[in-house]
Amino acid sequence: LERTGRMYRDLKIADEYQKNFIGLVSHELKTPLTVIKGYLALLEDGVLKPGHPDTMAALETSLDEVGNLESIVNNIIELSQLDQNDQQVFREEIDVKVLLDDAVSLVGKEIRNQGAEVLINLPPGAMVIHSDRMKVLQVLNQLVSNAVKFSPDAGRITITAVPGESGLLFSISDDGVGIPESQLKDIFNRFYQVDITTTRNYEGTGLGLAIVRKIAELMGGRVWVDSREGVGSTFFFEVPEMK
């Protein structure tokens, strides 16, 4: 009976996550589609003229929204592939400084828009690890993106990499809103969103951190977080050296 009760609770939680996911994805898809459709209607009606600054701004916004749609679809496909163990891990030599520069560059626009300051702290000398570069970059990019997203305007994000017991330990710290202690155990679950009732600026599908954990585990690594509400968060990503 105890086992049956536990299975029932797990299924109920899974069902709740799925319902939340459907609602979140519906909202996240509908918002950019509404923006794109609105601008296309203005172009069709002749309100926006070719070559006019307003038209160029509308096109730039529409392209950003297309990027958001693409990101949602890619995340869903990625998680499905990870669930089916349909991804391989490749070993290659990685220059850690170049890797971190690339991870920051991928969210350069968001960093500039918020006026955020990004600091990269590395030990003196060259630092190299052998692992899957694209997967490590994907995890770091997601964690840096989250740090920017949850940081205040002109906030500071600090990225470090230090040798660990079996590879490298990355940390990404922000001085943002932080995560309530009661929610820390759930943030790597798929479809989960941190409940920050003071603002709606942090919406998303709740898939990013679930993908991060899946990729880390696929490489034999792990990811965890230390956070204080109102102070900020530090995400840790341990990457083992591939033999």
Beta strands in 80-191 (DSSP E): 92-95, 117-121, 128-131, 156-163, 167-174
Q: Give me the mean pLDDT over the 132-155 stretch.
A: 92
Q: Give me the mean pLDDT over the 112-134 stretch.
A: 93
Q: Where in the chain is the domain with CATH 1.10.287.130?
A: 2-83
The answer on pLDDT for 91 being more than 70 is: yes
Question: Which residue in 114, 116, 213 sits closest to 159, CA to CA?
Answer: 116
Neighbours of 175 (CB within 10 A): 19
22-35 pLDDT tens trace: 666 666 777 788 88
- pTM (2 d.p.): 0.76
Residue with tokens 């496909």: 77
Torsion of CA 239, 81, 133, 194, to 10 degrees: -60
Question: Which residue in 175, 154, 189, 188 sits closest to 230, CA to CA?
Answer: 175
92-240: CATH topology:
Heat Shock Protein 90 (3.30.565)
Q: Where in the chain is the domain with CATH 3.30.565.10?
A: 92-240
- For position 200, what pLDDT does the model report? 43
Query: In the CATH scheme, what is the code of domain 2-83?
Result: 1.10.287.130
* Position 121 confidence tier, pLDDT thresholds 50, 70, 90: very high
Q: Give me the mean pLDDT over the 28-44 stretch.
A: 84
What is the chain's mean pLDDT, rounded?
85
